[in-house]
Amino acid sequence: MPNASPTSTQALDNLISQKVATLPPSGIRKFFDLLSSMEDVISLGIGEPDFVTPWHIREAGIYSLEQGYTMYTSNSGMPELRQELARYLELHYGVSYHPEHEILITAGSSEGLDLVLRAIINPGDEVIIPDPCYVAYPADITLAGGMPIPVPTNERNNFVVRATDIEARITRKTKAILIGYPANPTGAVMSKKEADAIAELAKKHDLLIISDEIYARLIYGVEHICFPGLTGMKKRTILISGFSKSHAMTGWRIGYVAADRRFIQALTKIHQYTLLCAPTMTQMAAIEALKNGETDVENMVQEYNRRRRFMVKRLNEIGLACFEPKGAFFAFPSIEAAGMNSEEFAEKLLLEEKVAVVPGTAFGSCGEGFVRCCYATSLPNIEEALRRMDRFVRKSSLRLK
């Protein structure tokens, strides 16, 4: 396919819907193309675990194929998986969902997010999102016919949205607040106090909370705040999560949505006409992940934690000031010391030192001045990447003088 710019698509192609034609391409696409033409690049630009799915989970997937589990499952997902999931959510977060009516198994949390937005948004409805945030949030809201309303966050509040900033942007059209903590791209986590304030706001203005908790298990030294677990919030929170990050299962495409049955019913309607059901083999593997995967999660978290400490310490040492990210597998250092903007930094770093990071601006305008560095890669890789970044930063600050 030719590499047409979005504007030319708009001008030339009437066959593509306006909404899609005007949708900006993902900010990471450019780097992807640049990177593919280079060798010996160390990439800190990856947003997925470097672990392969634990063997017992893969083996369960293989076994399901051997046994001929190749047919559709129920739209909502296999009953056993939903039961295991209900148990898992209760055990880890103290939230109870009815496996039959309040859980929907989706093809990754991405499908879940798309379903939720399509199910709740009327044309022109506004959905509040943090800036910076995961690239799909504004795009999915737009595709569903809504208006993404970014709320700026910054280093001073550790990139966590504050209730007061949200409240300032609430209008009559506001339908929901979409948040995702621990956060991609910042690694920020939300404290109980902040979460409570947002919960109160949602009650006061009768808003829905869409809580993307895909990184919930990757959390270091603090406790994850599960939004539906907050007092009185279960009925107005839609919980989206999955197995990609916790069990290193990105390529399997398996996730879930847990919410009050009226939402699940609405989501299931769309799901049954679009996906029908999540892949069967994958659901079987997910059952195994829930039943016997705890040690794997713990081991991976421990390993990430070591790399996290190492990366954050080194980033600060080389002059890229970085607040302590307490979740996910990202560090979000300030690149002020290098004296350039995020895109320039990422591009020059890639061309001069062959290290790939993602410019903060790919995740919203408030990401300017920051880059996302993923530590889901081997420690020797992290070490070498930081050695190169150190050289790059020193070179750049000399150029500044």
Partner 1 sequence: MKEILEILEQNGRATPEQISAMVDKPLSEVKKAIKQAEKDGTILKYKAIINWPKLEKEDIWALIEVRVAPQRGVGFDAIAERIYQFPEVYSAYLVSGTYDLSILVRGRTMQEIASFVAEKLAPLEQVQSVVTHFLLKRYKEYGETFHAPKETNRRLPITP
Which residues of this chain interact with partner 1, rule CB under 8 A? 26, 28, 31-32, 35-36, 41, 43, 45-48, 50, 134-136, 184, 306-307, 309-310, 313-314, 356, 358, 379, 383
**Pick 102 or 212: Cβ nearer partner 1:** 212
Residue 2: how many other CB atoms lie within 10 Å: 4
For residues 45 and 228, which CB has a smaller minimum distance to partner 1 in the complex?
45
Determine the 3-state secondary structure of 342 from DSSP. helix
Tell which residue, 277, 281, 280, 293, has the closest CA to residue 243.
293
Q: What DSSP character marks residue 181? A: S
User: Apex CA 113: angle with CA 251 and CA 222, to 5°?
Assistant: 80
What minimum distance in Å lies between the beta carbon of 14 and partner 1? 29
Half-sphere exposure of residue 387, counting CA atoms within 13 Å on the CB side?
7
Give 1 or 15: the residue with its C-beta nearer to partner 1. Answer: 1
Task: Quote the least distance from Cβ 201 to partner 1, whole Å.
Answer: 28
Residues linked to residue 372 through DSSP beta bridges, in sequence order: 358
Q: At residue 79, what are phi and psi to the nearest 5 degrees?
A: -55, -40
Q: How far is the CB of 316 from partner 1 (least distance, A)?
A: 11
DSSP one-letter string for 118-144: HHHPPTT-EEEEEES--THHHHHHHHT
Closest CB 338 distance from partner 1, rounded Å? 20
Q: Which two tokens stand for residue 266?
A: 């609405």
> Which of 95, 358 has the CB closer to partner 1?
358
Rounded least distance, CB 266 to partner 1, Å: 26
Burial 218-237 (b: 16+ CB within 10 A, else e): bbbeeebbbbbbbeebbebb
Report the DSSP pairing between strands 147-152 and 358-359: unpaired
Residue type at 336? Answer: E
Q: Which two tokens stand for residue 44?
A: 């800190």
Asked if residue 133 lies in contact with residue 26, where contact means CB atoms within 8 angstroms, the answer is: no
* Minimum separation from the CB atom of position 206 to partner 1 (A): 32
In the complex with partner 1, which residue's Cβ is closer, 44 or 166?
Answer: 44
Residue placing its CB nearer to partner 1 in the complex, 26 or 397: 26
The CB-of-245 to partner 1 minimum distance in angstroms stands at 12
Minimum CB distance to partner 1 smaller for 102 or for 353: 353
Bridge-based pairing of strands 330-331 and 355-356 is unpaired
